[in-house]
Amino acid sequence: MQDNRGKIHAVVCLHCHAEHPQAHHERVVHNVTPLFGPWAGWRMAGRDLVSPDGDRITSRRLIGILWVERSRQRISRSSPPPPARPVVLPARE
C-alpha cells in the first residue's frame, strides 16, 4: 500500500500480528491451514482435510464416516449379549 508521498507500507493483518508473511500468504491466498498436536502433518486446504500422504477428504465424507461410527456404537449398545451356552458335562458311570 502506498501513501500520498509514494512510500510503500506493509499491510499488517489485524488477525495475526505474529504470523510469518509466507504463512499468512498461504493461509489467506491459498486457504491452506496447517493443523497441530495429534493432527500434525494434516492440513486444511479449502474445504478439504488433507492427510500427510496427500489424500483429501471432504466435509460431507467425514460427516458420513462419523455417522456410520455413531450408528455402530448405538447398535452395539442396544443389542443384548448372546445367550450363554449350556455346559454339557460327561455322564457318570
How many domains, the chain? 1
In a domain, 40, yes or no: yes
In a domain, 15, yes or no: no
Query: Is the pTM above the cut of 0.85?
Result: no
One pLDDT digit (tens) per residue for the chain, 93 residues: 444 555 555 555 666 567 777 877 877 787 777 778 888 888 888 788 888 899 999 999 999 999 999 999 988 887 777 788 888 888 887
In a domain, 30, yes or no: no
Which domain covers residue 73, as residue numbers? 35-77
Phi, psi of 37 (to 5 degrees): 70, -135
In a domain, 1, yes or no: no
Largest alpha-carbon pair distance within the chain? Answer: 114
Place of cell 500520498: 4
Residues 76 and 70 sit within 8 Å (Cβ to Cβ)? no
In a domain, 65, yes or no: yes
